[in-house]
């Protein structure tokens, strides 16, 4: 990111920061229906597969493959599944904590859209004695102003591991 | 290594379909598996489509052994043990890329992408030239055996391994459905890789034959309307088959001819035309006349396949996808899953895009089927570690009467191997019988090889 971020005191940055923290609350609470309402209809939600390559290779994610590559339909199916009584992987539910930090906000060419960068650390605990799992990632979001407030139009999740140490991605980042 | 004292009993129990629960989390068994299964069998490494151009490589493991799977300048594929001949540094520390040479970061020996040693700094000063270290004709240690089928690259650590085609046996009849839908075969994307606290055998067994879990474990996926098939009634109309080194599950399709049934699972006519030309009369008859469509499958020891056809949008249309996956053992209670998306190379671009979407929703690290599968396997594995699990024999005899006669007669159909309609654990038993055969047979350890010095 070459452009300068908005000053932390800027009202737009404060708005974005609050949005991200409020979103993290919904994800921790697994209130996925409310979370889905924060997406635009044309939302894209992408988490590439990271790979280890030499510095000269010019790429560090697997060509054509992602962990998530979602639109509103597929996110909607995932959320609907959690709402059934038979999504065993989350019943009993995980205890989740999304730590969101390093938030920087950038103005874009469009007055209606703000760009937000953030870091997220997800702590996930299942059962009583199972080892907990961590997932660290950077995020790059396009947030769009709507009559109802900011909505997520695009998210790219840059996970910091090539091989995930988590049993599945029955979570969102 | 010596056999654990009770190995004979364990194998006898496994062979009668009573599985000592501890085999799913047992340090001693795991050590034996490493030698007697993974140092012997043909193990999947990569698909040729992952390394299409000269110099393209991916780094893959067979347990702890890292191999550079690389295409050389002449187009030949090699699997090179990723350990420098000098002091043992990894010569390649990336997962994939393109290279004409691999240069060892430690002292700078360099190897061409066919494995040949071409650079040895201060050869004359340090070794007295060839008199001390004969540089010519030295190469990174190749995998003892390497072979391909439909572009799938397999290696074996056993130099005396039978030919791959012989090892696979009649399973190739089914392998073609997944990997040969046109003369060009498949292309792979991925893999997604993640680690699960589960024993590697559970996934292999599940994909080989567990139709019984589908209606229950995957209830939620049907409830949300993503998938129309796994309803209990439909799943038990399918058959399971075992042929050669692998076996799998099928769905029974509604009435229709071959073309209608391939359309039913979502293939467009341009792809169907090629399948019709590519498959043998018997392969066509399994679908067109017998009415079965392949779904999950496993090849011993740890490669699995999926073929399913979910809805990928608000309309009622379904779209098929194929996934290859490998259950890479890490320890008795840990497995690395490598999950690839596979699609026919000649498929229309629009089909590829939708098929990829179908894959991501269903399988892989975020897949909605996979999520619930893994939760079961992790739970099973952790429970298998204790003392009580050493006393419990899990009943894996579904489909057999007390006198070992099958509950239903074998299916008469056009497919290879032996098949039964309905729920049964025939394939899980077949897979574990292979496992038992390997475990009771020690491997011959090839002698060590040194390089450069002496004759
Ligand atoms: S270890 Fe590779 S050059 Fe010495
Ligand atoms: Fe399953």
Residue B231 has pLDDT above 80, yes or no: no
Walk across the sheet containing B110-112 and list its strands: B101-103, B110-112, B117-119
Our answer on whether the CB atom of B106 is closer than 6 Å to any ligand 1 atom is yes
What CA–CA distance (Å, rounded) separates B246 from B241? 9
Helix, strand, coil tally for chain B in percent (to 5): 30, 25, 40
Lowest mean pLDDT among B174-183, B211-220, B320-329, B357-366: B211-220
Walk across the sheet containing B145-149 and list its strands: B43-47, B152-156, B145-149
Q: What is the pLDDT of residue B64?
A: 95
Based on the fold, state whether residues B53 and B191 are members of the same structural domain. Answer: no
Number of domains in chain B: 2
Based on the fold, state whether residues B177 and B127 are members of the same structural domain. Answer: no
What CA–CA distance (Å, rounded) separates B174 from B181? 11
Lowest mean pLDDT among A127-136, B326-335, B383-392, B442-451: B442-451
Q: What is the pLDDT of residue B271?
A: 98
Segment holding B259, helix H or strand E: helix B258-264
* Interstrand relation of B321-331 and B303-308 (parallel, antiparallel or unpaired): antiparallel
Question: Which DSSP state fits B330?
Answer: E
Q: How confident is the model at residue B2 (pLDDT cuts 50, 70, 90)?
A: low
Residue B121 lies in a domain: yes
Query: Which residues of chain A are within 8 Å of residue B90 when distances are taken between CB atoms?
Result: none
Ligand 2 centroid – CA B305 distance (Å): 12
Residue B36 lies in a domain: no
Based on the fold, state whether residues B79 and B193 are members of the same structural domain. Answer: no
Overall average pLDDT of the B321-327 stretch: 98
Q: How far is CA B346 from CA B272, B275, B349, in A?
A: 11, 11, 9
Overall average pLDDT of the A43-60 stretch: 97
Q: What is the pLDDT of residue B454?
A: 58
Tokens of A150: 């900011």
Q: Report the CATH number at residue B353.
A: 3.90.380.10
B/e letters for B179-201, b = 16+ CB within 10 Å, e = fewer, are bbbbeebbbbbbbbbbbbbbbbb
Based on the fold, state whether residues B222 and B258 are members of the same structural domain. Answer: yes
Overall average pLDDT of the B81-107 stretch: 97
Based on the fold, state whether residues B270 and B131 are members of the same structural domain. Answer: no
What CA–CA distance (Å, rounded) separates B279 from B283? 6
| A-proximal residues of B, 290-319, CB under 8 Å | 312-314
Percent of chain A with pLDDT over 70: 99
Q: What is the pLDDT of residue B198?
A: 98
- Residue ranges of domains in chain A: 3-159
Based on the fold, state whether residues B136 and B227 are members of the same structural domain. Answer: no
Tokens of B173: 């009849």
Q: What is the pLDDT of residue B455?
A: 47
CATH (residue range A3-159): 3.10.450.50
Residue B94 lies in a domain: yes
> By alpha-carbon position, which residue is closest to atom 3 of ligand 1?
B107
Chain A contact present for B365, CB below 8 A:
yes
Say yes or no for a CB contact (<8 Å) between B361 and A49. no
Q: How far is CA B241 from CA B149, B336, B357, B417, B427, in A?
A: 20, 27, 29, 6, 7
Lowest mean pLDDT among A99-108, B60-69, B129-138: B129-138
Residue A170 has pLDDT above 60, yes or no: yes
Mean pLDDT of chain A: 96
Our answer on whether the CB atom of B89 is closer than 6 Å to any ligand 1 atom is yes
Selected for mutation to probe chain B from A84, A89, A160 (highest B CB count within 10 Å) is: A89
CB pairs under 8 A between A and B: 119
Q: What is the pLDDT of residue B227?
A: 83
Q: Give residue-wise pLDDT tens across range B236-272.
A: 999 999 999 999 999 999 999 999 999 999 999 999 9
Helix, strand or coil, per DSSP, at residue B50: helix
Q: What is the pLDDT of residue B230?
A: 58
Residue B212 has pLDDT above 90, yes or no: yes
Query: Which residues of chain A are within 8 Å of residue B193 when distances are taken between CB atoms?
Result: 49, 162-164
Based on the fold, state whether residues B248 and B379 are members of the same structural domain. Answer: yes
What CA–CA distance (Å, rounded) separates B23 from B12? 13
Number of H-type helices and E-type strands within chain B: 16, 20
Residue B1 has pLDDT above 60, yes or no: no
CA angle B196, B198, B199 (to 5 degrees): 130
Tokens of B222: 């049907």
Mean pLDDT of chain B: 95
Based on the fold, state whether residues B243 and B376 are members of the same structural domain. Answer: yes
Residue B382 lies in a domain: yes
Q: What is the pLDDT of residue B426?
A: 98
Chain B contact present for A168, CB below 8 A:
yes
Closest CA in chain A for residue B376: A89
Number of H-type helices and E-type strands within chain A: 3, 6
Based on the fold, state whether residues B271 and B359 are members of the same structural domain. Answer: yes
What CA–CA distance (Å, rounded) separates B404 from B426? 11
DSSP secondary structure string, B213-251? THHHHTHHHHHTTS-SS-SHHHHTTSEEEEETTEEEEEE
Say yes or no for a CB contact (<8 Å) between B94 and A167. no
Cβ neighbors of B219 (< 8 A, separation 6 or more) are A84, A86
| B-proximal residues of A, 51-110, CB under 8 Å | 51-54, 57, 62-70, 73-74, 77-78, 80-81, 84, 86-89
Based on the fold, state whether residues B132 and B269 are members of the same structural domain. Answer: no
> By alpha-carbon position, which residue is closest to atom 1 of ligand 1?
B87
Ligand index nearest the alpha carbon of residue B375: 2
What CA–CA distance (Å, rounded) separates B202 from B204? 5
**Which residue from B97, B195, B221 is facing A81, i.e. has the nearest CB?**
B221
Cβ neighbors of A4 (< 8 A, separation 6 or more) are A106
- Structure pTM? 0.96
Overall average pLDDT of the B267-283 stretch: 98
Q: How far is CA B104 from CA A89, B111, B244, B369, in A?
A: 44, 8, 41, 42
Q: How confident is the model at residue B451 (pLDDT cuts 50, 70, 90)?
A: confident
* B107 Cα nearest atom in ligand 1: 3
Residue B12 lies in a domain: no
Residue whose tokens read 């360099």: B110
Lowest mean pLDDT among A150-154, B66-70, B216-220: B216-220
Q: Give residue-wise pLDDT tens across range B367-385.
A: 999 999 999 999 999 999 9
Our answer on whether the CB atom of B109 is closer than 6 Å to any ligand 1 atom is yes
Overall average pLDDT of the A107-126 stretch: 97
Selected for mutation to probe chain A from B368, B374, B383, B385 (highest A CB count within 10 Å) is: B368
Q: How far is A48 from chain B (nearest CA, A)?
A: 9
If one counts every other C-beta atom within 10 angstroms of the C-beta of residue B276, the result is 13
If one counts every other C-beta atom within 10 angstroms of the C-beta of residue B88, the result is 10
CA angle A163, A166, A167 (to 5 degrees): 110
Overall average pLDDT of the B199-227 stretch: 93
Q: How far is CA B93 from CA A54, A117, A144, B103, in A?
A: 8, 30, 41, 11
Residue B27 lies in a domain: no
Residue B295 lies in a domain: yes
Lowest mean pLDDT among B226-240, B348-362, B406-420: B226-240
Based on the fold, state whether residues B71 and B175 are members of the same structural domain. Answer: no
Cβ neighbors of B139 (< 8 A, separation 6 or more) are B80, B111, B114, B115, B116, B117
Q: What is the pLDDT of residue B411?
A: 97
Query: Which residues of chain B are within 8 Å of residue A86 when distances are taken between CB atoms?
Result: 219-220, 223
Chain B contact present for A41, CB below 8 A:
no
Closest CA in chain B for residue A88: B372
Cβ neighbors of A127 (< 8 A, separation 6 or more) are A92
Say yes or no for a CB contact (<8 Å) between B220 and A87. yes
DSSP secondary structure string, B143-196? PSEEEEETTEEEEES-TTPPPHHHHHGGGHHHHHHHH-SSTT-EEEEEEEEEEE
φ and ψ of B385, to 5 deg:
-85, -20
User: By CB neighbour count within 10 A (0-12 exposed, 13-18 middle, 19+ buried), where does A20 fall?
Assistant: buried
Overall average pLDDT of the A143-153 stretch: 97
Q: Report the CATH number at residue B127.
A: 2.102.10.10
Residue B6 lies in a domain: no
Q: What is the pLDDT of residue B311?
A: 92
Q: How far is B294 from chain A (nearest CA, A)?
A: 24
- Supply the range of the domain harboring residue B396: 170-440
Residue B447 has pLDDT above 60, yes or no: yes
Query: Which residues of chain B are within 8 Å of residue A33 when distances are taken between CB atoms?
Result: none
Query: Which residues of chain A are within 8 Å of residue B383 when distances are taken between CB atoms?
Result: none
């Amino acid at each position: 990111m070459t452009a300068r971020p908005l000053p932390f005191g800027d009202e737009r940055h404060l708005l974005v920061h609050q949005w991200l923290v409020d979103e993290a609350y919904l994800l921790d609470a697994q209130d996925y229906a409310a979370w889905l309402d924060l997406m635009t209809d044309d939302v894209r939600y992408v988490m590439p597969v990271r790979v280890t390559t030499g510095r000269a290779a010019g790429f560090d994610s697997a060509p054509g493959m992602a962990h998530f590559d979602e639109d509103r339909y597929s996110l909607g199916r995932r959320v609907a599944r959690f709402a059934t009584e038979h999504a065993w992987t989350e019943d009993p539910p995980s205890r989740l904590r999304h730590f969101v930090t390093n938030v920087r906000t950038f103005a874009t060419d469009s007055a209606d859209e703000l760009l937000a960068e953030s870091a997220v650390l997800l702590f996930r605990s299942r059962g009583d004695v199972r080892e907990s799992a961590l997932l660290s990632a950077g995020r790059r979001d396009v947030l769009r102003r709507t009559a109802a407030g900011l909505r997520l139009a695009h998210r790219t999740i840059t996970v910091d591991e090539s091989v995930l140490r988590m049993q599945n991605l029955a979570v969102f980042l | 290594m010596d056999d654990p004292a009770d190995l004979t009993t364990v194998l006898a129990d496994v062979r009668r379909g009573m599985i000592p629960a501890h085999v799913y989390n047992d340090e001693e068994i795991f050590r034996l598996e490493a030698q007697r299964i993974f140092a012997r069998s043909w193990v999947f490494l990569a698909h040729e489509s992952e390394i299409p151009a000269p110099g393209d490589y991916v780094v893959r493991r067979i347990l702890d052994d890292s191999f550079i799977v690389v295409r050389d300048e002449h187009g030949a594929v090699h699997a090179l043990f990723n350990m420098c001949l000098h002091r043992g540094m990894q010569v390649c520390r990336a997962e994939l890329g393109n290279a004409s040479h691999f240069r060892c970061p430690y002292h700078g020996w360099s190897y061409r992408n066919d494995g040949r040693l071409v650079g040895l700094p201060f050869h004359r000063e340090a070794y007295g030239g060839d008199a001390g270290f004969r540089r010519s004709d030295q190469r990174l240690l190749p995998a003892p055996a390497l072979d391909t089928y439909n572009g799938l690259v397999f290696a074996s650590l056993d130099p005396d391994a039978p030919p791959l085609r012989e090892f696979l046996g009649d399973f190739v009849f089914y392998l073609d459905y997944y990997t040969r839908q046109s003369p060009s075969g498949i292309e792979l994307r991925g893999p997604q890789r993640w680690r699960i606290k589960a024993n590697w055998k559970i996934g292999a067994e599940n994909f080989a034959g567990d139709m019984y879990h589908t209606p229950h474990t995957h209830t939620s996926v049907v409830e949300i309307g993503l998938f129309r098939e796994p309803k209990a009634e439909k799943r038990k109309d399918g058959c399971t088959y075992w042929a050669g080194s692998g076996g799998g599950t099928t769905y029974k399709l509604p009435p229709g001819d071959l073309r209608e049934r391939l359309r039913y699972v979502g293939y467009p006519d341009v792809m169907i035309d090629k399948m019709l030309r590519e498959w043998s009369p018997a392969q066509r008859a399994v679908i067109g006349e017998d009415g079965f469509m392949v779904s999950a499958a496993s090849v011993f020891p740890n490669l699995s396949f999926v073929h399913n056809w979910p809805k990928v949008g608000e309309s009622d249309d379904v779209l098929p996808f194929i996934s290859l996956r490998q259950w890479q053992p890490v320890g008795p209670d840990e497995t690395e899953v490598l999950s690839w998306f596979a699609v026919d190379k000649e498929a229309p671009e629009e089909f590829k895009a939708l098929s990829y979407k179908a894959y991501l929703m269903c399988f892989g690290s975020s897949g909605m089927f996979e999520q619930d599968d893994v939760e079961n396997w992790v739970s099973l594995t952790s429970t298998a570690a204790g003392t009580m699990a050493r006393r419990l024999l899990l009943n894996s005899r579904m489909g057999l009467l007390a006198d070992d006669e099958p509950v239903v007669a074998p299916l008469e159909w056009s497919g290879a191997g032996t098949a039964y309609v309905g729920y049964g654990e025939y394939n899980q038993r077949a897979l574990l019988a292979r496992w038992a055969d390997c475990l009771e047979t020690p491997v011959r350890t090839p002698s060590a090889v040194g390089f450069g010095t002496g004759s």
